[in-house]
Amino acid sequence: MAIDNRQPARHGWRFFVGSNTFLQVLVGIVGLAFWEAASRSFDLDFWISSPTAVATELVRWERSGHLWVDLRVTMTEASLGFIVGCIAGGFTGFVLGWTQRLGDILEPYIVALYSIPKIALAPLFVLWLGIGVTNKVMFAAMLVFFIVFFTTYRGVRSVDRELVQNAWLLGANRWDIWTKIAIPYSAVWMLTGLRIALPDALIGAIVGEFVASDAGVGYRIKEATAFVNTAGVFAGLFVLLLISLCLLSLLKLIENRTLRWQAGDGAIATEPGH
């Protein structure tokens, strides 16, 4: 008698109930229900607001016509800051990582600049660049720069130098070394830096809006704080959370496609049981 080796179909309601997506949604619903119950039971609306109050505030924000304008402003500032910071940090990190002597000389100075509390520099950016979009873009770019620089720098420094020497002996030129060894070898470090730096770009834009702005999600949060509107503050935080999740999901998709070559049979397993 023939043996049916076919696997059971992995679809339907039972599969969905046992999936991580269902459990994640369930945790979110339970968390919101607990938040609502705690706010109502202990009269904590002033301190922690409630999901219903936040939803009402989001509807009011959208109907006022300001929500999409504020989203566009904050997304523009964060996106441009992220791009500028990634380019500057990646290029500087690669150059100083590859040129070891120059990197050893300049690394202490970059570390010293990184150790300065960034929020203390926000007023200087207002003095230098005014209160327009450029101020927020460059402040966000500064935060992104350091994260991308350090991860790229460390990634390039981790390149196997013996592999590089063997490539030289086999006739590879400098461009081949960079594109076929240095960049692929340090790609994981670089992309990790991008993932870590992405929220920092949003933080930079929001901090810039806190200091000096007349639009943006950060400006609305500051405005809600001035009017002691706890629900408005939480509504702004909720919008920022959604923006961060969407951007991180997009970056994760790009990372999976970029590092697809590492998913082969020879890749090192990173999960338990593999």
Give me the CATH number covering residue 241.
Answer: 1.10.3720.10
| Tens digits of residue pLDDT in 156-202 | 888 777 777 777 777 777 777 777 777 777 778 888 888 888 889 99
Are 171 and 43 contained in the same domain?
no
Residues 26 and 94 in one domain: no
Look at residue 16 in the predicted model and tell me its pLDDT. Answer: 54
Q: Which of 13-17, 108-112, 124-128, 244-248 has the lowest mean pLDDT?
A: 13-17
Q: Write the secondary structure of 22-48 as one string of H (helix), E (strand) and C (coil).
A: HHHHHHHHHHHHHHHHHHHHCCCHHHH
Assign 81 to helix, strand or coil. Answer: helix
Do residues 63 and 163 both lie within one domain? Answer: yes
Can you give the residue range of the structural domain that contains 41? 19-48
State how far the Cα of 240 lies from the Cα of 78, in Å rounded to an integer: 11
Counting the structural domains of the chain, the total is 2
Residue 125: partners with Cβ closer than 8 Å, 6 or more residues away: 135, 138, 139, 208, 211
The answer on 216 and 92 residing in a single domain is yes
Do 142 and 33 share a structural domain?
no
Q: What pLDDT sits at residue 274?
A: 41
261-272: average pLDDT: 44
pLDDT in tens, 201-253: 999 999 988 888 888 899 999 999 999 899 999 999 999 988 888 888 888 88
Average pLDDT over residues 18-26: 76
114's tokens: 């990184």
Same-domain pairing of 164 and 189: yes
**Residue 273 falls inside a structural domain:** no
Picking from 67-76, 134-143, 265-274, which range would have the lowest pLDDT averaged per residue?
A: 265-274
Cα-trace Rg, the chain = 24
Question: 215 with 154, same domain?
Answer: yes
B/e letters for 72-89, b = 16+ CB within 10 Å, e = fewer, are ebbbebbbbbbebbbebb
- Domain annotation covers residue 11: no
Helix pair 67-98, 183-211: axis angle to 10 deg: 140
Q: Is 164 in a helix, a strand, or coil?
A: helix
What is the distance between the alpha carbons of residues 60 and 261, in angstroms, rounded to a whole number? Answer: 47
Same domain as 101, residue 31? no
43 within domain boundaries: yes
40 shares a domain with 72: no
Instruction: Answer yes or no: do 38 and 158 share one domain.
Output: no
User: Is 70 exceeded by the pLDDT of residue 270?
Assistant: no
